[in-house]
Amino acid sequence: MSESREREEAQKRVLNRLRRASGQLNAVIAKVEEGGNCRDVITQLAAVSSALDRAGFAIISTAMQECFATGDGPHGESVDDLEKLFTMLA
């Protein structure tokens, strides 16, 4: 698979995760507005957080792969820059 095709596939996966997280966040908001059960709200909120983390890690992973292959991330990031972004999510 070409590098550009791999990047497009990675972007699709990230967008799907972000859309799923958006839907989950809307469900959390609705539950809070309805005075929903604390356990249900926290469970759904944890799912949102996890989905966002996975999306962030996928973005950084793709950038790191490109960085190691070419010497720079897709937007000129260095390995050190990407490492700092990674630790922001950890």
Chain segment 23-77, per-residue pLDDT in tens: 999 999 999 999 999 999 999 999 999 989 888 888 888 877 776 677 666 677 7
Q: What is the largest CA-CA distance in the chain?
A: 51
Structure-token pair, residue 4: 């550009």
Structure-token pair, residue 22: 């958006």
Query: Does the pTM exceed 0.85?
Result: no
Determine contact, residues 60/89, Cβ cutoff 8 Å: yes
Q: What is the DSSP letter of 1?
A: -
Residue 48 confidence (pLDDT): 93
Residue 68 confidence (pLDDT): 67
Residue 71 confidence (pLDDT): 67
Query: What is the phi-psi region of residue 35: left when phi exceeds 0, alpha when psi lies from -120 to 50, beta otherwise?
Result: left
